[in-house]
Amino acid sequence: MSSIPISLLDLEDDASSCLAAEDYQKKEGKWCAGCGDFGALNAVKRLLAKEQLKPEKMAFVSGIGCSSRFPHYVNSYGFHGIHGRALPIATGLKLARPELDVFVVMGDGDCTSIGAGHWIHAIRYNTNMTVLLLDNNIYGLTKNQTSPTTPQGHTSMTSPRGSVLPALDPLQATLGVSNASFVAQTADWVPAHLYATLEAAYAHKGFSFVRILQRCPKFTEDVFAENVKNPDLTELLVHENGVNAPGLERLFKATRQHDPKEIDEARALAQRTDMLRLGLFFQDDSFPVYDEIRAVPPVSPEEKIQRLEKEFDRYAV
């Protein structure tokens, strides 16, 4: 569990103080040069500064992987959990401390492999949190093993002849779970769209699932290479109720009007493979939010101590 520097807490006591994006970074990120995690961190810092979130009023929770080092670099409370368990940890935290803004950061292996069961049920619970899947299509921290989202045919240490199975699509999987309330996709090489997507996700009340496509400069630098070089291979989903980053239409000629309320169209678009699509696929604010349904009654510090003492007494010798 990481803590907050005293200097930031002192700054927050001054109502006239305004935190800049860099005030939210605790230390320099230790990722490989060119890693998409840097772009995600920069977008997150911009969001925190724009919303002026108090460091002591938010928490970042992660599992295991390159992306899961996030809590070490953000000036907030943080929990670096175990592989695949970020979502149940975050859910418990939100139930116990509903006043906190909770962010979850996971990698593709962390979320869609060992954490898949928790992922599916967390979508169904629709707990009010912002969830970022940093998807670089590979197990990067453990040095190049095929993950569930690795493209078919892509070679790795565990698939030297190429991945045999078709890649799992996190968008299709999420859109297929009942009670999914916010599903979006963005990319680390389109920073304006990445930031606009995070803004929309944070504003949503419920489980905001954002898949961030990114490149691993060591092992999957070729996966999105053509999309980076040629913007015509990417289609933006635009709508008055969607994710809109002004000026991107000049770069991306392919745009599609898509109402994020249309779940069937969202599923159809996620299934198509003719183009890479970025935008808000689906949003519904009407679904019940788990932390409101299962609100935990407040407990005084004295009562917490009494409960702990009672529990300890059970194991007294």
Q: What is the pLDDT of residues 73-106, one digit of tens each?
A: 999 999 999 999 999 999 999 999 999 999 999 9
Read off the DSSP letter of residue 114: I
The mean pLDDT value for 248-256 works out to: 93
Q: What is the pLDDT of residues 196-222, one digit of tens each?
A: 999 999 999 999 999 999 999 999 989
Task: Return the percentage of the chain with pLDDT > 70, whole number.
Answer: 95
Catalogue the long-range contacts made by 142-147 (C-beta closer than 8 Å, 24 or more residues apart): 143/219, 144/218, 144/219, 145/109, 147/107, 147/108, 147/109, 147/112, 147/113
CA dist 160 → 3, 163, 164, 224 (Å)? 42, 8, 10, 20
> What is the greatest pairwise CA distance in the chain?
73
CA distance 281 to 251: 21
> No. of H helices and E strands in the chain?
12, 11
Contact in structure between 290 and 311 (CB atoms under 8 Å)? no
| pTM tops 0.85 | yes
Is residue 216 classed as helix, strand or coil in its secondary structure?
Answer: coil
Read off the DSSP letter of residue 248: G
| Domains located in the chain, CATH noted | 6-313 (3.40.50.970)
**AA identity, residue 156:** S
